[in-house]
Amino acid sequence: MFIDFEGIDGSGKTTLSNLLAARLRRLGYKVAHAREGGELQAPTARRIRELTRDSKLLEMGARTEFFLNVARDAQQLEEIIAPALSRGEVCISDRYLYSQLALSGGGRGLPMEELEPTCTLASHGIWPDLVVLVDVEPDLARLRKRLGKLKEGRTSDSDSRKGLAGAGLAVRVREAFLAMARKDPARWLIIENNDQPLWVLEQRIVDAVVARLQGREPQVQRIVPASSPSAPQAPLTVDCVEERFFQALDSLEVREPGLAVWMLGGLPGLAAHQRRLAAVERFPGLAVRSLSGLEDEASWSLRELLAKVVPVDVAASLGSSTAPRAMALRKHLYHLAPGEVVSGLKRNDSAEAWVLREQALKEKRLGDVLLGLAGVDGDTAWAVRELGVQQKLYSEVARSLTGLSGERADALRESLLKHDRLAVVRSITGLDSPFANGLREQLADKAMKLVLRSLAGLNTDEAYSLRERGATLTKEAIDSLDGLNDLRAWELREAFAERWPATVLSSLKGLPLTGRVEELITRILDSAPGRLPLLRNAYGVIATAHETPPAQGVRPVVSAESQATL
* Residue % of the chain over a pLDDT of 90: 86
**Residue at 91: amino acid letter:** C
pLDDT band at 523 (very low <50, low <70, confident <90, very high): very high
The correct CATH number of 2-223 out of 3.30.450.20, 3.30.70.260, 3.40.50.1000, 3.40.50.300 is: 3.40.50.300
**pLDDT band, very low/low/confident/very high, at 558 (cuts 50, 70, 90):** very low
Interatomic CA distance for residues 428 and 308, integer angstroms: 36
pLDDT of residue 196: 87
pLDDT bracket for residue 554 (50, 70, 90): very low
229: CB partners within 8 A, 6+ apart: none
Write the CA distances from 116 to 72, 113, 130, 556, integer angstroms.
16, 6, 19, 59
- Reported confidence tier of residue 551, pLDDT bands at 50, 70, 90: very low
Distance, CA of 453 to CA of 467 (rounded, Å): 10
User: Coil, helix or strand for 344?
Assistant: coil
- Is 365 in contact with 338 (CB distance < 8 Å)? yes
Non-local CB neighbours of 154 within 8 Å, separated by 6+ positions: none
| 8 A C-beta contact, residue 276 and residue 269 | no
What is the distance between the alpha carbons of residues 562 and 566, in angstroms, rounded to a whole number? 6
Average pLDDT over residues 445-451: 95
Residue 310 backbone zone (phi > 0: left; psi -120 to 50: alpha; other: beta): beta
Confidence check: pLDDT of 218 > 80: no
Which pLDDT tens digit goes with each residue over 136-175?
Answer: 999 999 999 999 888 877 665 567 889 999 999 999 999 9
Q: How many CB atoms lie within 10 A of CB 454?
A: 25
CA angle 428, 431, 434 (to 5 degrees): 90
The reported pLDDT for the residue numbered 237 is 82
* 444-473 average pLDDT score: 96
Give the containing element (helix H, strand E) for 383. Answer: helix 379-390
CA-to-CA dists, residue 397 to 82, 353, 372, 404, angstroms? 48, 18, 10, 12
Reply yes or no on whether the pLDDT at 509 is more than 90. Answer: yes
- The C-alpha torsion from 451 through 151 and 72 to 13, rounded to 10°, is -100
- On the question of pLDDT at 220 being above 70, the answer is no
The SS3 assignment for 92 reads strand
Question: Does residue 14 or residue 550 have the better pLDDT?
Answer: 14
pLDDT of residue 224: 55
Q: Are 450 and 428 a contacting pair, CB within 8 Å?
A: no
Closest listed residue to residue 56, CA positions, set 210, 203, 202, 159: 159
- Structure letter (DSSP) for residue 227: P
The answer to whether 34 and 81 have CB atoms below 8 angstroms apart is yes
Residue 526's DSSP bridge partners are none
Q: What is the pLDDT of residue 50?
A: 93
pLDDT confidence tier of residue 227, bands split at 50, 70 and 90: very low
By C-alpha distance, which of 242, 241, 263 is closest to 252?
Answer: 263
Residue 132 phi/psi, 5-degree rounding, is -95, 110
| 325 CA to centre of own chain | 30
Could you read off the pLDDT of 55-110 as tens digits, one per residue?
A: 999 999 999 999 999 999 999 999 999 999 999 999 999 999 999 999 999 999 99
The string of DSSP letters for 115-129 reads HHHHHHHHHTT---S
Residues β-bridged to residue 189: 132
- The DSSP output letter for 556 is -
User: What distance lies between CA 438 and its chain's CA centroid?
Assistant: 28
DSSP string covering 143-187? HHHHHHHHHTT-------HHHHT-THHHHHHHHHHHHHHHH-TTT
